Amino acid sequence: MATKKNNIPEPVFLSAPKAANLCGVSRNTICCWIRDDKLPSYRTAGGKYLIRPGDLLGFMTENQMFAPQALKDIAAEDEAIFGGSESRETEAEPSILVVDDDANMRQLIRRSLQDLGMPVLEAENGFDAMHKLTVAPSVALVILDMVMPGQGGASTFDQIRKANPSLPVIIVTGQNTDDVEREFTGSKPDIILSKPIRPEHLVEVANTFLNNLGF
């Protein structure tokens, strides 16, 4: 089990080659399963696929594939610390995730939300956001900028919706809101706020979503 420098464990991830080796298939087959949305995965900033062992075990079991004992052991070790998907969403303290490449904007939003009494996590781009949501699955609300280097807001929103359809997402943007809405071809964000953000408005909107969730 991987650990941070402060000895807080992080989830186990399998690379596509490792998953392929455990399944007895080619790496290309693993990538096809992922691209067809059959096997849940995460992507690094470098574009590599990472897979949770429990997700791989569940996929193999569901499709009546032989699951090697090594995979069962890895999945069991990971689940012993983080629990199943349902328990991971509720065990840790709820928090808010702010995703923006502008450090000053993240700081402004953090200060605006401090009176809500909930921890505020920060991510500087979409790749970082998806990692934060993986290691901190208790996030109750996401505040997401649209324009960021690497993975922007629209594709990050799509990944969030696939991973957790019920997680509320507030989009913040300096663009015309009508233009932004057209970037979402599938599921739509819960609300779009225009920059510059009025702190009191952001707090009101965030508080509404959190209250609806029972926080």
Report helix, strand or coil for 139: strand
CA 19 to each of CA 23, 31, 41, 71, 72: distance values in angstroms, whole numbers, following the listed order:
6, 10, 11, 9, 12
Q: Where are the domains of the chain?
A: 14-86, 92-212
- Assign domain 92-212 one CATH number from 3.40.50.300, 1.10.10.10, 3.30.70.920, 3.40.50.2300: 3.40.50.2300
Alpha helix locations (H) across the chain?
Answer: 16-23, 27-35, 53-62, 69-82, 85-91, 103-113, 126-135, 153-163, 177-181, 199-212
* β-bridge mates for residue 95, sequence order: 139
Give the pLDDT confidence of 94-149 residue by residue, as tens digits. 899 999 999 999 999 999 998 888 889 999 888 888 888 887 778 999 999 988 88
Q: Which two tokens stand for residue 148?
A: 């960021």
Give the pLDDT confidence of 181-195 residue by residue, as tens digits. 888 877 888 888 988
Q: Residue 130: its pLDDT value, please?
A: 87
Q: Residue 183: its pLDDT value, please?
A: 82
Report helix, strand or coil for 211: helix
Is residue 157 within 8 A of residue 175, CB to CB? The reply is no
Domain 14-86 has CATH 2.60.40: no
Long-range CB contacts for residues 23-30, cutoff 8 Å, separation at least 24: 23/56, 23/60, 23/65, 24/66
